[in-house]
Amino acid sequence: MELKKIELFELWVKLREDFETSFGKTIERPAILIRLEEKNGEVGWAESVAGEGPWYSYETWETAWHILNDFIIPRVSEEKEIDVEKFNDIVSNIRGHNMAKAGFEMALWDLKAKVEDKPLWKVLGGVNKNIVSGVSIGIQNTTEELVKKVSMFLDKGYRRIKIKIKPGYDLEPIARLRKEFGQELPLQVDANSAYKLTDIELFKKIDGYNLLMIEQPLHWKDLVDHAELARHIKTPICLDESIEDVNDARKAYQLGSAMIINIKPGRVGGFSEVLKIHDFWYKVANRPVWIGGMLETGIGRGHLVSAATLPGVKYPNDISASEKYFEKDIVEPPWTLNKDGTITAPEKPGIGVEVMEDYIVKNSKRTKTYFINPKK
């Protein structure tokens, strides 16, 4: 593909409700949006999911902007032709900063799909057009509020409930939800690294509640400790923060650190690595994956929906409808939930939804335009 123009937008989006995890509360989140335009006028969009602070990852919206502006875009701008493979090659010596890389890489995938006039999910090799949707519920002030929220989401049709836990907010909400909704409720918890191996007695108690999985209980670097914990409980461990590339997945497999991986395209640097992790974990290790979220706008959500159509996705995803997150999304139509708790991957090219460009241009806090200037 021959790019003509690259644009970056820093847009802050207000969540309908604050989202509390063991890291803290998010009320408004930055979205670094990337718009690529190629020589015939086709346009690709994506979103970098770096957050408002270095909690989930060391990246923030400012570091993502910095890496894109000072390293990634200058290199891409020197190229007359670019594709996903070449892109991954020219950014390969930038250490880490996966969320910055993923933003650009996924915009290239959307553009590629648009140039080929195909839906992105088909270009990726997706097979399941209706992806199963779950919700991730932040830490609530009272268990009463939690019970109400769970009821409300189940009424809407969501097929799985995930609650965030932290020390002091774990056994009680889990026990309460089991009491209220019974053993059939598909329930899982996400600790976002808030515990240590010395909390093993607590996990043995949690083990009695028939959860689908426990997500990222321990420190993100502790593959060995996760393997030790896995030997003491029967509930499957799912890794999120610990898996940044396919090598981490291979190590987690060899050590026995996890049964399940929550794949987030932003965390792993884009779709090329998503496919590698998916193929290793599902086809080689014969284990399930699902697609996680980072409270994306409708743009990033389109990329998540595409990824969730892959064959190894065997659990409900953290991909909910636009209205769960925002009063008003920045794509048309917004993402909606079908009655059976699925979201349908669109047949239109690319991510398959219209981006509200005027809104983004008017409301961004910072924008920058770059023109391609090939060296040769």
Question: What distance in Å separates the CA atoms of residue 21 and residue 339, rounded to the nearest whole number?
Answer: 28
Among 42, 225, 240, 273, interactor with Mg ion by CB under 5 A: 240
Does 264 participate in catalysis according to the annotation? yes
State which of positions 247-306 bind ligand OSB (CB under 6 A). 292-295
Beta pairing, strands 260-263 & 237-239: parallel
Tell me the H-state helices in the chain. Answer: 61-67, 73-77, 84-90, 98-115, 120-124, 143-156, 171-181, 200-206, 223-230, 246-255, 265-268, 271-278, 298-307, 322-325, 357-363
- State yes or no: residue 192 binds ligand OSB (CB under 6 A): yes
Q: Which is nearer to Mg ion, 23 or 359 (CB)?
A: 23
Does 164 participate in catalysis according to the annotation? yes
Tokens of 130: 């209706």
Catalytic residue among 114, 162, 264, 324: 264
- Cβ 241 to ligand OSB shortest distance, Å: 7
3-state secondary structure of 48: strand
Q: Which is nearer to ligand OSB, 111 or 263 (CB)?
A: 263
- State yes or no: residue 296 binds Mg ion (CB under 5 A): no
- Fill in the per-residue mask, 52 to 71: x = in contact with ligand OSB (CB under 6 A), - = not in contact: ----x---------------
- Evaluate whether 330 touches 11 at the Cβ level (below 8 Å): yes
3-state secondary structure of 49: coil
- Fill in the per-residue mask, 164 to 193: x = in contact with Mg ion (CB under 5 A), - = not in contact: --------------------------x---
- Cβ 215 to Mg ion shortest distance, Å: 5
Question: What distance in Å separates the CA atoms of residue 258 and residue 353, rounded to the nearest whole number?
Answer: 35
- Evaluate whether 237 touches 253 at the Cβ level (below 8 Å): no
- State yes or no: residue 20 binds ligand OSB (CB under 6 A): no
- Cβ 76 to ligand OSB shortest distance, Å: 28
| Contacting positions for Mg ion (CB under 5 A) | 190, 215, 240
| Contacting positions for ligand OSB (CB under 6 A) | 56, 136, 190, 192, 240, 292-295, 318, 320
